Structure 1
Amino acid sequence: MKKTWLRAGVLATVAIAVTALGTPADAAAIRLAWRPTILPLPPGAGAGNITGSDGKGEYTGTFRVNDVTQVVSWRNGQPFLRGVPSGYERVDANDENSSGVVVGTIHDYETFTSRTYTLDASGYHIKDNPAGYQEVTGVAINTRGDVLGEAYQPGVPRAVVLWRADGSAPVVIPETDDLSSPRDLDEDGTILLNSGAGSALWKDGVLRHLSPSPASQAGGTAIRNGIVVGWRIWGGVEQAARLSTADGTVGLEGGGLALSVNKAGLTAGLVPNPAGPVIVGNGAVWRGTAPGVVQGPSGYSVFKTQVAADDGTLAGYASNDPSAGSGVPVIWRLTP
């Protein structure tokens, strides 16, 4: 489950031998790469981002279509619009689980309110904001259907919000210096969030900090089955990292930042960009801690791998504008 950092840069040059699903293979095997496919845009669509996948061939993201920011999904490689419910002017998609349930944020410009929603085959299901909060953004959803959000209200501390799949009242956790900015939600309901200069895990009221050791600092952007990926400060620079245990980090070779990890440990991220105006660049991939190679689509200088899907594909976007933060939708498959 994903989180998005929009930067620009260069392509990683490290390749490894892998199987068709990204698993390390015999060193003598032919080296393979994740190869890009640009997905077609619906009529009237502009740039956007893919932010989630069901891991079964569906990809979902946020795109501007006919001057309306809305959710677009691709099935069998073809796009379809998910619509905007009456009374709302904008819908953003942030995540999708293996059942094809999308979570994100829906906006009402007239009342200046934002609410978290889920979207499935039967349509939109808009959650009530906890009392005292005008804006609640949808951050992530896990396989069983728990939903993670973040609540805002001028003049009061922000709060982490957890809607459990059992339909019980939402858990509202006021943010502090030691607990803030929810990043992702694991399958067992563990929340990954910021904590001071690092990250921590919250579950059922218990907060556990993640050690940056042997690095000086480290933080997570995504979690899946207990594996946290993100970044660490190593040799004075930011490096993509796997926070594999509560007391240590492992660097991801050739990477500047890790963004998403799937159920098998396949990780999507970005390479460093030390010569540019931002610190990370184009797409990168790792199976566990072993680096692979991501090929850029022809005709585009910028390409971002932001989602590691459960079927071993990657998803993101491509552009020729390093500062745009969005582009045409792209998926990457591991092919001979």
Structure 2
Amino acid sequence: MRSTSLSRRALIAFAAATVVTSLLAPTAAAGAECTWQVEKLPVQDGMDWSNLRLTGVDAQGNVSGFFSPERKNHTLVRWTADGMEIVPRPEGVDAFVTIAGNASGVVIGRVYRPGAPTGSMTHTPGAGYRELPDPAGYEVLSVLDINDRGDVLGKAQLPGSPLQQAAVVWPADGGAPRVIAPAEVRYPEPVAIGEDGTVLLDSHDTAWLWRDGVLTKLPDQGSSVDPRALTRDGVIFRSPYSPRASWLWREATGALERFSVDGAVEAVNTDGLAAGVLDDGNYTAAVWQGTRFLAKLPLLPGSYESRLGAVGAGGVVAGTSGPQPVRWACR
């Protein structure tokens, strides 16, 4: 395990005081009377949608992602009340590609070192980087999700055997990674991990829930519909192709409910606040609570398109409006 102190951080603050203050402003509950607003995130010259990806939002609305000048040398970037912060990569690492973040601001990502196998790491504010070891006998292909207590979900395979795939979970307490490869699940594709450690798996046949060794087979939605996320209520499915639509499978009842306004979900938080694009031919960004449509997301003046990155535990959505990184909040 490798840890790098954050004392070597290069702190770059570009925000005006009004923008910084807005980063700390409370967010109204999605179901309350409020209006969705868009805010610019401060950037360095040369940063835009082509070399920035926003992949995480914590419970306070702080945003994380990566900057990749010339689409290489990926580096962690964080936006807080102090502005934008470029976090140095660990020693010997050429790229740290962020994938997701949790409510505490812990970020997961893949690391690339010259002449060495690709690895996996977390980064925790105030604590630094932590290497995630490969499980014995497996090679890790990707990290995919992290829950709020810090369990990390990834995908692994037996070396040289791409058909022998498995999910892998690194527990928050730093214990040995656990491999999940149920015989009943053909070609498991890990998707998401819930707050209680439940793992959502896709497969050649249908989607499954794995919870403490017990499997639950979910209704087959067909090859054009994908399991997308776990919420407190159940599983979000989506069809990313026309017609773009999303559904909530409620675990308590087994009912499958279509979203009230059609659209393909891109990101969801644990409470079921979902961000996605409408099935309107224009990829209009929008938000839902559960299956209920809330609103279209506004764009910056002069922008005509957006990209959605993550939904935080506090109800903040991060993405881009035109070339500019932004966050949306309902106030």
**TM-score of the alignment, normalized to the shorter chain, above 0.5:** yes
| Aligned-partner residue type, residue 246 of structure 2 | A
Equivalent pair of 2:208/2:215 in contact (CA under 8 Å): yes
Aligned to 2:57: 53
Aligned to 2:307: 304
Per the TM alignment, residue 58 of structure 1 is displaced from its structure 2 partner at its CA by 1.0
| Aligned-partner residue type, residue 160 of structure 1 | A
1:295 paired to 2:295:
no
**1:165-214: CA deviations, max 9, x gaps?**
2333211134876352211110000011212354221122222122257x
Tell me the C-alpha RMSD between the 2 structures: 2.8
Provide closer, same or farther for how the CA distance between residues 243 and 24 of structure 1 changes in structure 2, counting only shifts above 3 A.
farther
Q: How many Å separate the matches in 2 of 1:310 and 1:243? A: 21
Q: Which moved more, 1:174-183 or 1:238-247?
A: 174-183
Per the TM alignment, residue 59 of structure 1 is displaced from its structure 2 partner at its CA by 0.8
Q: How many Å separate the matches in 1 of 2:232 and 2:168? A: 21
- Aligned-partner SS, 2:300: coil
Per the TM alignment, residue 282 of structure 1 is displaced from its structure 2 partner at its CA by 3.2
Provide closer, same or farther for how the CA distance between residues 175 and 317 of structure 1 changes in structure 2, counting only shifts above 3 A.
farther
Q: 2:67 aligns with which of 41, 63, 66?
A: 63
What is the correspondence of 1:1-336 to structure 2 with a 5 Å cutoff?
20-23=28-31, 32-46=34-48, 47-65=51-69, 68-76=73-81, 78-111=83-116, 113-120=117-124, 121-152=126-157, 153-156=159-162, 157-174=164-181, 178-212=186-220, 218-231=225-238, 237-245=243-251, 247-272=254-279, 274=281, 281-293=283-295, 294-319=297-322, 327-335=323-331
Equivalent pair of 1:105/1:136 in contact (CA under 8 Å): no
**1:241-285: CA deviations, max 9, x gaps?**
2222373321113332113222432111221255x8xxxx23110
Q: How many Å separate the matches in 2 of 1:145 and 1:165? A: 5
**1:276-306: CA deviations, max 9, x gaps?**
8xxxx23110122221221122222221233
Per the TM alignment, residue 216 of structure 1 is displaced from its structure 2 partner at its CA by 9.1
Which runs of no fewer than 5 residues in structure 1 stay unpaired? 1-18, 26-31, 320-326
| Aligned-partner residue type, residue 79 of structure 1 | M
Q: Which moved more, 1:149-158 or 1:34-43?
A: 149-158
| Aligned-partner residue type, residue 165 of structure 1 | A
Equivalent pair of 2:318/2:327 in contact (CA under 8 Å): yes
Q: How many Å separate the matches in 1 of 2:29 and 2:168? A: 35
Equivalent pair of 2:268/2:275 in contact (CA under 8 Å): yes
TM value normalised by structure 2: 0.79
- Aligned-partner SS, 1:40: coil
The structure in which a higher percent of residues are helix is 2
Identity of aligned residues (%): 29
Q: Which moved more, 1:130-139 or 1:281-290?
A: 130-139
Provide closer, same or farther for how the CA distance between residues 34 and 178 of structure 1 changes in structure 2, counting only shifts above 3 A.
farther
Equivalent pair of 2:103/2:312 in contact (CA under 8 Å): no
Which runs of no fewer than 5 residues in structure 2 stay unpaired? 1-26
| Aligned-partner residue type, residue 202 of structure 1 | W
Higher RCO (CA < 8 A, seq sep 6+): 1
Aligned length: 296
Q: How many Å separate the matches in 2 of 1:154 and 1:35? A: 49
Provide closer, same or farther for how the CA distance between residues 310 and 161 of structure 1 changes in structure 2, counting only shifts above 3 A.
same
